[in-house]
Amino acid sequence: MPSGRKIVSGLGVLSLLCLGGGCRRDAAPLATGGVAAPHQVAVDFNRDIRPLFNQHCVACHGGVKMSGKISFVFREEATRAGETGRITIKPGDPDHSELIARLTTRDPEKRMPPVDHGPALAEAQVALFRRWISEGAKWSEHWAFVGPKPQTVPALAPGSRAGPIDAFVLDRLAKERLQPSSEADRATLLRRLSLDLTGLPPTPAEMAAFLADSSPEAYLHQVDRLLESPQYGERWATLWLDLSRYADSRGYEKDLGRSVWPYRDWLIDALNQNMPYDRFVVEQVAGDLLPNPTFEQKIATGFHRQTQANDEGGTDDEEFRMLAVQDRAVTTWAVFNGVSFNCVQCHSHPYDPIRHQEYYRFLAFFNNTADADYFNNDFPTLHVPNRRADFVVARELEEQIRRLRQERVDAGQKLQGESGMWTSLKALSASAEPRATFELRDGEVYATGPAPSATVRYEIQAELPAGEVTAFRLEVPPLDPVKARHSPEPGFIVGEIEAAIVHADGREENVPWDSFWPDSPTWPVARQGIIRRMGTKSGVAPASAGPGTDAPAPKAPAKEPTFSDLPPGGFASIPSLYRTRWLVGVPAQTVAAESGARLRLRLQHSRGVDDFDKPTPVRRLRLAASSDTRWTRLAAATKSESHWVQMNQLEARLLAIPGTEVPVMEDLPSGEEREMRVFSRGNWLEKIGEPLMADVPALFPPLPAGAPRNRLTLARWLVAPGHPLTARVAVNRYWEQLFGTGLVETLEDFGSAGAAPSHPELLDWLALHFQNDLHWDVKALLRELVMTATYRQSARITPELLAKDPRNRLLARGPHNRLAAEMVRDQALVASGLLNPERHGPPVMPPQPDGVWATVYNSGNWIDATGPDRYRRALYTFWKRTSPYPSFVSFDTPARDVCALRRIPTNTPLQALVTLNDPVYHEAAQELARRMKREAPELPGQIAAGFRRVTSRDPRPEELKPLMKLHAQALERRLEETESSTKPDQIPPDVDALSAVAEALLNLDAALTK
Amino acid sequence: MKDRESQLIRELETQRLEAQTRRHFLRTCATGMGAMFLSTMANRAFGSAELDFTRPAVSPLAALPPQFAAKARRVIYLHMAGGPSQLELFEHKPDLEKLNGQDCPQSFLAGKRFAFITGTPKMLGPQAQFHQAGKSGTWLSDRLPHLERCVDDLCFIRSMRTDQFNHAPAQLLMQTGSPRLGGGASLGSWVTYGLGTENQNLPGFIVLVSGGKTPDGGKSLWSSNFLPSVYQGVQCRAKGDPVLYLSNPAGVSRGLRREVLDAIEEADRQEHAALGDPETLTRIAQYEMAFRMQISASDAMDLRQEPPEMHAKYGTEVGKESFANNCLLARRLAERGVRFIQLYHWGWDSHGSTESEALNLGFHAQCRQVDQPIAALLEDLKGRGMLEDTLVVWGGEFGRTPMQENRGGQANKFIGRDHHPGAFTIWMAGGGVKPGFGYGETDAVGYDIVENPVEVRDLHATILHQLGFDHRKLNFRFQGLDQKITGVKPAKVIRDVLA
């Protein structure tokens, strides 16, 4: 048996901090679970056998190693011969099963597990294996991978009015011979309820109203009031900020700012509007792919744009793009399905039946977005107006720009693709300034040597057939086009293109351009500022730009001084080259070439993608010419009102609307998809096997036949009926938020190595109820949970309960948990009256100690807010990944580098230092003291008023006594000091003494818990 | 005969260490936890298959005995953030001088990814003179005249390598075992999770930063990640409160604070009587510890207590944020039983794009900032008999190329080298490593490892071994896996460097 259990049961009066392996194993079934005694019931694979495999075998014989070619993850693998040629498990025949032989042999060389890995299995365990094999070695899927089954609500004693949820809990308690606790007193109830539903304690007025309401629906009315309160969305958004790894900075070295807070505001609004959970999932995963997506639906996709970006000098953008893609896949599994997926990157899942290749099939859903770890740029972004009223016009402008861009591409693309359109131009020479090495092969130019400089200028001469030329085509193919589809080559940026005809007599004639026709609507767009002119810096937005101001608005594109009308941003493929890119240039006048004339082309690489001037040269070039006059006509038709000019105007209008550039998900256009293959042992530089189509692991229900293999299909699949996990994971998470521990304690792992549910029937019942009866209505679910008698129980722990169920997994008492970091701050602000209840908007910077921010290569500063932004709710605090707000960290907030699925509460001295000494709390104590003084004429009344504001209840006489004493002590000290001091009194002595009391109040156990 | 004798001595030493760890641990138990805690510890027999890191809630940092007899009881890790050049400090490569200014061979470039080098860079000869030092005859550059005195105490690993060539990921790999933010828990967190700490009035894992910047990996470098947050590093600072929020707000005296805490405790005891939640008692204990920490952390961080000769030895200046101050603080913290003391000193990113980054200019000053304090620290520890059970580790996150950096294809303005993950040097001292020893070898120009490559995970395994842990056993169940700092790839203890 796991060692942890002994400790818990033998613990007596000491509780255990939840730590480590021991803790997780505690979570295993209490009295009735675990290994069943032999000879009683039939062996159950999931209950009896799989845990043994997981604990003793799969580390070597699982999805990772398959030592001796044996694995116990899939039945077909376990029932065949291993390397020795002997059958590992022969169903029905334990005596000819190598497993049994190796478990029982006395030969230490052969015994399993090997001596240095662990002791031999107990006889009872071996007996279980024997019986299981005799009974046919029946394999069944891990419970969580099989859909929830309809459950019969346990029958209760006649006359009981308990609802179904309570019935499951009571049924279990009866089996454990435990009685539920009585209902908590009303003050405690309202405090618990208010903090759970809104993150804020009740005000004295709210409390008084509730206490005075003697109607049977009094509690229900409070539940409904709180669910409808606008603070509800703020409290539950906090949970989703952890899950979506929300941060106001990009991560890694520079950790520059990122303006993604409109996504946070979207969360608040969606939750307040009680968006059904299924829609909530779909919009976040694939809102951009919904038909005619709204602005809000696009903002919702910010969920997966919270991935880190690395702006450190000399990073490979493709590497960090790939990491973001992997993070999206892993986060999708973790957040919505409670399945750990990371390990499948390198090998098959160590203990759950998910195969290596399935990871990459799944990754393919996310591999086609346009973002690419651009330097200090979150392209693609949406210009989100500050005022909601401007959403419509902004959306219309975005649409128009998109349409224009597409039209431009369509027009050129159609002609470009016609057969017989192009005559290849054989390259005759190539040179560069500064010097570079070229090779001419099959009429093409190769520049495969090292790039001499980022500003290299190529000059290429090519044969020109005698006759007329109406258009030139420049093609930049990858060196290895097949490989580049999945493993792209470095990209290129050409900023200027100049053409001339070198006539046979040596005369040079410039060819002015009329227009250029690009191959893709995703060509880099100047507005996004990804490509800058060489030598200019990106104008790194300091992370401190946040509070009060919007991120600096990108400047409207200035007409760049080029001698060619290139698309804004140039002819480029950045940061990498996946496929052959082309650009058609139409000369202002049709070129007439005589025999012997040559084309001279100059390509100026003149811009950088980051601040490090990394060269991005063309490495392969192919030229062609056309004599089709339709090019001339096409150019003429768009001459007067060029698309660029129109687009520039529209973009200028869009950017003139005050707003924020918010990163969103956007797929590459069809035909430009990246190819996915398996990474060899998880190494992204080495891909193997065939191209993979996006798909979900075979363990799960299949995607609907014929549906497009994209994120939208995936998102809908997540919430489709029959998915075994999504609803279970959701109800479990809401349960954990209210009760402190999930029905499945390991919120992050529903797999076979996770904890077994404490109330499996209840979990299934809730999951089905949430989907089928409540139609994913989250507020309705929460309402049912907080209405249960289970939730409303008193949290009092009797010695008997502490001994039998120290961690309250059986729910014979009500929840009693420490406030989350955000609640600790918000409560102090509410109690003192300092809270600024403003909702939404850019992140704020309440005071933090000097010098906490000092990031390398980042000039951002933390500037303590002095105005009302000093007192906003915690969730609006600027969240910098590499330097989180220190007082939150002490109270267990995660860094949000990756999605945080569970906060493990701790109880440490550093927390005491925060609530005692952080100026925020000191200020709150002083304000609270002033309030206390105003609220009652006499000291006991004043202290009681403060006590109520902080703990939501009246002090007991024994609690009042030490606080009164403290007041007397503080007053005496103060008067002594005043006598010896020459300084004029700032604060009246009695308020000062009350401040000491208020400080104590904010630090009471009753204040820090709910 | 000689062999038998040394074997006997080794055995006696092991016995002594075992007795020491157990005795120490029993003392802790007797004073604090009581019999209940002891019974949990019975599970932790030396060498048992599965270790139990459970502790009583009131004391999550309670010291636990190591898995087996340990040579080191604490770690002082000096991380030189930015990647110091091994070729100007410890790697004597006369052949590189001969190649100075010549084009880098293409074989060095094929298939390699660099942070900044573009095209064909030139080879760059050493920018320092080397000589042999100490009885061990170790080659050392003249940049480290003070450290030279300790050279016979150092154990060099010249064949370190990493697979990360950008600062933040490489530092994260070095300190957390994973190159990703949020990927792993830091070494200091693992060690305090495994061993707890010996002074409950100070954090068990303290981080000191100098060089004007937080290292590139940010505070994630001392994050506990999936380990409970009590094990995260606590940054102590030279300016302001040494520990955040350590001092009382203005107007709150220690006497008044005592009275406030007394009132809190009395009210909390009522709350406990009413609800019976043991967490309430834990909270009372934590508040008391915080009160003591206010004194003990301020005391530990107060360099004014050191005599003038000590300041002269380290080159410290009271009130300044400097590496020298942090070295002296490290010794003070080590004395007080802090388990893991992590220093970061920024400024080793010698690209040569500015004067301060130039190997022939700013690098000199950079070396001066650390040379004297490190030597002082080692001698000070030794003088106090603490070096033998303190493992001191020095190193960066990667090395630097034998080529001169040519960002964007042109030689940089000043002389510098690019990041080089393929080979770099670290050293360790004390804590049971071989003194005056060198391990591993690189080629004639210090580019490739030719003998005994050491992976980052091997280094971690070795450090944990010195602290008494099989790195595979120091693990934590998270997301269904027994997470460990050495990850899933095989890691080995570098036995050859152990004394």
Q: Per-residue pLDDT tens for B250-285?
A: 889 999 999 999 999 999 999 999 999 988 998 998
Q: Is there a single domain that holds both residue B419 and residue B481?
A: yes
pLDDT at residue B395 greater than cutoff 90: yes
Q: Is there a single domain that holds both residue B263 and residue B200?
A: no
Distance from CA of B240 to the nearest CA of A (A): 8
Residues 177-196 of B with CB under 8 A from A: 180-183, 193
- B214:A308 CB<8 A: no
B186, B248, B277, B282: best to mutate for the A interface, most A CBs within 10 A:
B277
Q: Which contiguous run of DSSP H or E holds residue A623? A: strand A620-626
What mean pLDDT is predicted for residues B127-134?
96
pLDDT at residue A695 greater than cutoff 70: yes
- Selecting from A23, A752, A855 the residue whose C-beta is nearest the C-beta of B218 gives A855
A550 vs A502, higher pLDDT: A502
Q: Is there a single domain that holds both residue B281 and residue B327?
A: no
pLDDT at residue B24 greater than cutoff 60: no
pLDDT of residue A189: 97
- A854:B213 CB<8 A: yes
The span from the CA of B54 to the CA of A23, in Å, is 8
Instruction: Give domain status of residue B330, yes or no.
Output: yes
pLDDT of residue A559: 35
Distance from CA of A799 to the nearest CA of B (A): 8
- Whether the CB of B14 is below 8 Å from some CB of chain A: the reply is no
What mean pLDDT is predicted for residues A466-479?
96
What mean pLDDT is predicted for residues A598-609?
82
User: For residue A546, which of A860, A821, A308, A840 has the smallest C-alpha distance?
Assistant: A860
User: For residue A916, which of B356, B244, B47, B142 has the smallest C-alpha distance?
Assistant: B244
Question: DSSP string covering B103-143, please?
Answer: BPPHHHHTT---SSB-SSPBB---SS-EEEETTTTEEEETT
pLDDT of residue A529: 45
What mean pLDDT is predicted for residues A321-330?
95
A884: helix, strand or coil: coil
A609 pLDDT band (50/70/90 cuts)? low
Q: Where are the alpha helices (DSSP H) in B212-361?
A: 254-275, 278-300, 308-314, 323-335
Q: Is there a single domain that holds both residue B220 and residue B289?
A: no
A246: helix, strand or coil: coil
Ranking A818-822, B34-38, B167-171, B416-420 by mean pLDDT, the lowest is: B34-38
Cβ neighbours around A446 below 10 Å, total: 18
Q: Is there a single domain that holds both residue B260 and residue B239?
A: no
Amino acid at A105: T
Question: What's the whole-number average pLDDT of chain A?
Answer: 86
A773 vs A380, higher pLDDT: A773
What mean pLDDT is predicted for residues A755-777?
96
B25 pLDDT band (50/70/90 cuts)? very low
A82 vs A185, higher pLDDT: A185
Q: Which residue has the tokens 């956007």?
A: A666
Q: Is there a single domain that holds both residue B202 and residue B234?
A: yes
pLDDT at residue A230 greater than cutoff 80: yes
Distance from CA of B250 to the nearest CA of A (A): 9
Q: What interface predicted TM-score (ipTM) does this complex get?
A: 0.86
Rg over CA atoms, chain A: 34
Q: Per-residue pLDDT tens for B418-472?
A: 999 999 999 999 999 999 999 999 999 999 999 999 999 999 999 999 999 999 9
Instruction: Give domain status of residue B238, yes or no.
Output: yes
Interaxial angle between packed helices A391-416 and A630-637, expressed in degrees from 0 to 180 and rounded to the nearest 10: 160
pLDDT of residue A144: 93
A492 vs A425, higher pLDDT: A425
A754 vs B65, higher pLDDT: B65
Ranking A697-701, B91-95, B486-490 by mean pLDDT, the lowest is: B486-490
Q: For chain B, how many structural domains are there in total?
A: 2
Amino acid at B47: G
Phi and psi torsions of B276, nearest 5°: 70, 20
- B408:A25 CB<8 A: no
- B408:A613 CB<8 A: yes
Pairing of strands B437-439, B205-210: unpaired
Distance from CA of A589 to the nearest CA of B (A): 38
Question: What's the whole-number average pLDDT of chain B?
Answer: 87
Instruction: Give domain status of residue B42, yes or no.
Output: no
Percent with pLDDT over 90 in chain A = 60
pLDDT of residue A983: 57
> Domain holding B185: CATH number?
3.40.720.10
Gap between the terminal Cα atoms of chain B = 19
The span from the CA of B381 to the CA of B430, in Å, is 9
Instruction: Give domain status of residue B397, yes or no.
Output: yes
User: For residue A342, which of A765, A899, A803 has the smallest C-alpha distance?
Assistant: A899
Q: Per-residue pLDDT tens for A496-516?
A: 888 999 999 999 999 988 888
Residue of chain B nearest A250, judged by CA positions: B181
pLDDT at residue B44 greater than cutoff 70: no
- B279:A907 CB<8 A: yes
- B271:A883 CB<8 A: no
Instruction: Give domain status of residue B69, yes or no.
Output: no
What mean pLDDT is predicted for residues B115-136?
92
Q: Per-residue pLDDT tens for B200-228?
A: 889 999 999 998 777 888 888 998 888 87
B26 pLDDT band (50/70/90 cuts)? very low
Q: Per-residue pLDDT tens for A14-48?
A: 333 333 333 333 333 333 333 444 455 788 888 88
Token digits of residue A5: 């259990």
Residue B271 domain boundaries: 254-293
Q: Is there a single domain that holds both residue B383 and residue B458?
A: yes
The span from the CA of B493 to the CA of A317, in Å, is 35
pLDDT of residue B68: 92
A701 pLDDT band (50/70/90 cuts)? very high
What mean pLDDT is predicted for residues B346-373?
93
A16, A17, A1001, A1008: best to mutate for the B interface, most B CBs within 10 A:
A17
Rg over CA atoms, chain B: 24
Q: Is there a single domain that holds both residue B221 and residue B113?
A: yes
Count how many pairs of residues, chain A against chain B, have C-beta atoms within 8 Å.
Answer: 353
- Selecting from A883, A895, A1004 the residue whose C-beta is nearest the C-beta of B264 gives A1004
- A450:B109 CB<8 A: yes
The span from the CA of A402 to the CA of A174, in Å, is 64
- Whether the CB of B37 is below 8 Å from some CB of chain A: the reply is yes
Q: Is there a single domain that holds both residue B419 and residue B352?
A: yes
pLDDT at residue A152 greater than cutoff 50: yes
pLDDT at residue A797 greater than cutoff 70: yes
Q: Per-residue pLDDT tens for A115-141?
A: 877 788 889 899 999 999 999 999 888
pLDDT at residue A554 greater than cutoff 80: no
B247, B256, B291: best to mutate for the A interface, most A CBs within 10 A:
B256
For chain A, the structural domain boundaries read 45-139, 248-379+676-774, 414-644, 919-1008
pLDDT at residue A847 greater than cutoff 60: yes
pLDDT of residue B6: 57
Ranking A538-552, A985-999, B3-17, B365-379 by mean pLDDT, the lowest is: A538-552
Percent with pLDDT over 90 in chain B = 67
Token digits of residue A671: 């035909």
Residue of chain B nearest A21, judged by CA positions: B477
A856, A943, A980: best to mutate for the B interface, most B CBs within 10 A:
A856
Ranking A566-570, B136-140, B327-331 by mean pLDDT, the lowest is: A566-570
Distances in whole angstroms, Cα of residue B7 to Cα of each of A564, B3, B433:
82, 6, 17
Q: Per-residue pLDDT tens for A647-677?
A: 778 888 998 999 999 999 999 988 888 999 9
pLDDT of residue B323: 96
What mean pLDDT is predicted for residues B291-302?
92
Distance from CA of A951 to the nearest CA of B (A): 11
Q: Is there a single domain that holds both residue B265 and residue B228?
A: no
Q: Per-residue pLDDT tens for B64-104?
A: 999 999 999 999 999 999 999 999 999 999 999 999 999 99
Q: Is there a single domain that holds both residue B238 and residue B259?
A: no
Q: Which contiguous run of DSSP H or E holds residue A923? A: helix A919-935
Percent with pLDDT over 70 in chain A = 89
Distance from CA of A558 to the nearest CA of B (A): 26
A955 vs B58, higher pLDDT: A955
